[in-house]
Amino acid sequence: MATITEKINKNGTISFKAIVRYKGVFVTKTFSVKANRKKTVRNEVEDWARNIEIQIDNGVYRKEEKRQNYTVAKAIEKYISDGNPKKDESTRRKYIAALEWFKKEIGSLPIKTLERSDLKMCRNKLQKKHKEVPIKGKAGNGKITDEYISNSCVNRYLAYFSTFLSYCVNEYEIIKSNPMIGAKLKLKENDPRKRWLKKLDERQSLLEICKAKNYELYLCALLALTTGARKGEVLDLTWKNTDLENKAIYLLNTKNGDDRTVPIPDVLYPELKAFKEQYMEKKIKKIKNNYLFITSEGKPNANLIENVYPNVISKWKYEKITYHGLRHTYISIASLLGINTTIIKKIVGHKFDSVTGGYTHADCESLRKPMNIVANYMLYGKVKQKEDDNQAI
């Protein structure tokens, strides 16, 4: 049976989005109507979905996309209008910005004729793309600088475009294969060993500067350094899922699709407790979605990590490190301390051992000792443990 969702648009019209997943076939279509035809059109949407299923049963269904000659631009427009990529709003904006760049450069090409040479040309142009400084209130119209974007940024653009092409292969079936696969387009990035903070004074200095700039930013950094949590996991964290009584954090809707529970390290607990008592009491009473780091509209305060953190780092005396680099730091320190790879994987939420190895839903209590060991070393450079704690490593 199809899934039908209803949305009221800003112009007063109503949209019905129908999704059919049936016998390995995925079809989606959006219907926009005026409010006075809501009931009639919903029936039409249901009839459309049933007709698709009947065609699939009879072996005569052919996707609309396969009957059309899509250009890259048209395929990108459809991909975005269908609600893709299905990411948090911040990540989705980055995907769309990258896709719009490809649309501008090669949008007129028929997607079926796309070749590796076209993609290599795009990569070379990206290497000469100038950085933009965002201007508040003028999304997409940032100030152009003289500095080129980094190799890692070029690689992200290519990765986003590859995700789109794979969707065109597997869901839309408008191309037979993804030309990005095997094209060897990835550029060499900075030495990964420089993307984490090995020295104690670097970690302490970073936390001090974050604390001086913004206390909530300091807590964001502290959470990453003591739990290894991802940016999205930190920003989406609510007081409902921060169990101070049992000293545990429940991380839901994580990147790999699995929920997980991790203990709150002893060095982090008093900070969170004081933060709740002193800074969030009034907001909790007024806002239902009690995010730890929240805007006046009741949404996760992504600005802390997307704008405030880079601004702090740009003025820091040590080498620049991204917020995700704090997660690298956690995993690297845990590995240096000899924490078992399986334990690290459970803490940080890696689904496969190979992913964790690139950086070098268990019982919550089994993770508490190793997490305290890592957190204490992270902040103080000391391993505080008893002899019988060695079993946890």
- Give the other-Cβ count within 10 Å of 69's Cβ: 10
pLDDT of residue 294: 87
Beta bridge partners of 18: 4, 29
For residue 143, the cross-strand partners are 133
- Any idea which residue has 């607990």 for tokens? 269
Asked if residue 210 lies in contact with residue 221, where contact means CB atoms within 8 angstroms, the answer is: yes
Is residue 325 within 8 A of residue 231, CB to CB? The reply is no
Model confidence at 137, pLDDT cuts 50, 70, 90, reads low
The answer to whether residue 103 scores a pLDDT higher than 50 is: yes
DSSP string covering 210-239, please?
HHHH-HHHHHHHHHHHHH---HHHHHT-BS
**What domains can you pick out in the chain, each with its CATH number?**
3-61 (3.10.450), 67-172 (1.10.150), 194-392 (1.10.443.10)
Q: In what side-by-side order are the strands of the sheet with 248-251?
A: 242-243, 248-251, 260-263
Query: Residue 351 pLDDT > 70, yes or no?
Result: no
Q: What is the rounded distance in angstroms from the CA atom of residue 307 to the CA atom of residue 107?
A: 31
What local confidence, expressed as pLDDT, does residue 362 receive? 42
* Contact by Cβ (8 Å): 329, 197: yes
DSSP state of 188: P
Query: Cα angle vertex 17, ends 288, 177, to 5°?
Result: 110
- Taking CA atoms, 128 is separated from 89, 150, 154, 173, 307, in Å, by 27, 10, 10, 33, 24
Choose the weakest-confidence range: 109-118, 145-154, 279-288: 279-288
Q: How many residues does the chain have?
A: 393
Distance CA(86)–CA(97), nearest Å, equals: 15
Sign of the torsion formed by the C-alpha atoms of 216, 221, 222 and 223 = positive
Torsion, Cα of 128, 134, 135, 139 (10° steps): 90
Share above pLDDT 70 across residues of the chain, in percent, rounded to a whole number: 83
Checking if the pLDDT of 139 tops 80, the result is: no
pLDDT higher than 50, residue 153: yes
Give the model's confidence band at 62: pLDDT under 50 very low, under 70 low, under 90 confident, else very high: low
In terms of average pLDDT, the best of 191-205, 282-296, 307-321 is: 307-321
Q: CA-CA distances (angstroms) from residue 350 to 120, 155, 260, 290, 392?
A: 32, 22, 11, 27, 19
Phi–psi pair at 280, nearest 5 degrees: -110, -5
Rounded to the nearest 5 percent, the helix, strand and coil shares of the chain are 50, 15, 35
Residue 330's H or E segment, with its range, is helix 324-336
Report the distance separating Cα 173 and Cα 95, nearest Å. Answer: 21
Please name the residue ranges forming H helices in 129-228: 151-167, 200-213, 215-227
- Give the pLDDT confidence score for residue 296 in this predicted structure: 81
